[in-house]
Amino acid sequence: MNGRSRPFRHRLVIALVLAASLAGLDAHAARRSPSRFDPSGFYLGLGYRTDQIKGGFDGQSVLVGETMLALVPRLEDGGGLQYSMSAFGTYGGCSVIYSEEKHAAEWLGAKGDARLNDLAFDFRISPFPRLPVQPHVILGMGFKRLSVEGAAADLLYETTDDAVYRGISWDAGLGAALSVMPRVRLEFSAVRCSTSYNTIAVGGKNSTITISDGLNGSGWSLRGELMWQAGRW
């Protein structure tokens, strides 16, 4: 038994030595290649996101102006595609993000559809760029256009149309990015959008309501995105 197990032990020792040597070579290569997980470059992204629109959207209120009125619906959480262009350095970067989402709307039992368009400018701070999974802080602002089907009336011409809400959001959140291929990264984030809608229009007409104190439409935004590195610095 001892005579037979000795060659096995020798082979095990040799295998362990080889494994340790390979691990040491890999660590040495990683030290000599600090850009192994370096995100620096220009990226194009495609992703999916879901957003909440809460606050003053209660499904009961009506806003009245001089020549128009608009219903304030309750909106279900909705989602849609987002497209981005980003420039990243070692410790962070910035992104321009455009998204289109669909939401279900309801006002005193009447149901309809709503569409949210968002053009956002985000800044990312990545304190640990060498990690395979790179956490980051997100700060930014967005310009939002919320169109609610058939929720506005022009009192002057006695017609109904979509209510178009326009507002600005201040965004803050956390995210993480994972390098899945040499030029591809996968990114997930949770962002709090503090949104205030300041004007409402009847479709594309000039009739508007200005909301002096703003209509709160804040909520959470959950995002997942695949980003392709189109160029390196």
Rounded CA separation 20/232 (Å):
33
pLDDT class for 29, splitting at 50, 70, 90?
very low
Neighbours of 93 (CB within 10 A): 20
pLDDT confidence of residue 130? 81
- Is pLDDT above 50 for 19? no
First to last CA, the chain: 62
SS3 140: strand
pLDDT value of residue 7: 53
Helix H or strand E encompassing 28: helix 2-32
Name residue, tokens 């997930």: 188
Tell whether the torsion through CA atoms of 214, 98, 190 and 139 is positive or negative. Answer: negative
Name 218's Cβ contacts closer than 8 Å, sequence gap at least 6: 52, 54, 55, 169, 192, 193, 194, 195
Alpha-carbon distance 30 to 26, whole Å?
A: 6
In angstroms, the CA 212 to CA 198 distance is: 7
The pLDDT tens digits for 56-70 are: 999 999 999 888 999
pLDDT per residue as tens digits for the range 66-116: 889 999 999 999 999 999 999 999 899 999 999 999 999 999 999 999 999
Q: Which residues contact 111 (CB under 8 A, 6 or more apart)?
A: 104, 105
Q: Find the angle CA(167)-CA(135)-CA(48) to the nearest 5 degrees.
A: 50
- Rounded CA-CA distance 132/120 in Å is 27
How many residues make up the chain in this entry? 233
pLDDT of residue 32 exceeding 50: no
How many CB atoms neighbour CB 186 within 10 A?
A: 16
How far, in Å, CA of 226 to CA of 6, rounded? 52
Which residues partner with 152 through β-bridges? 70, 161
Residue 163 sits at the vertex; the CA angle it makes with 122 and 58, to the nearest 5 degrees, is 80
Q: What is the mean pLDDT of the chain?
A: 86
pLDDT above 50 for 1:
no
Residue 24 has pLDDT above 80, yes or no: no
On whether the CB atoms of residues 41 and 228 are closer than 8 A, the answer is: no
Residue 37 has pLDDT above 70, yes or no: no
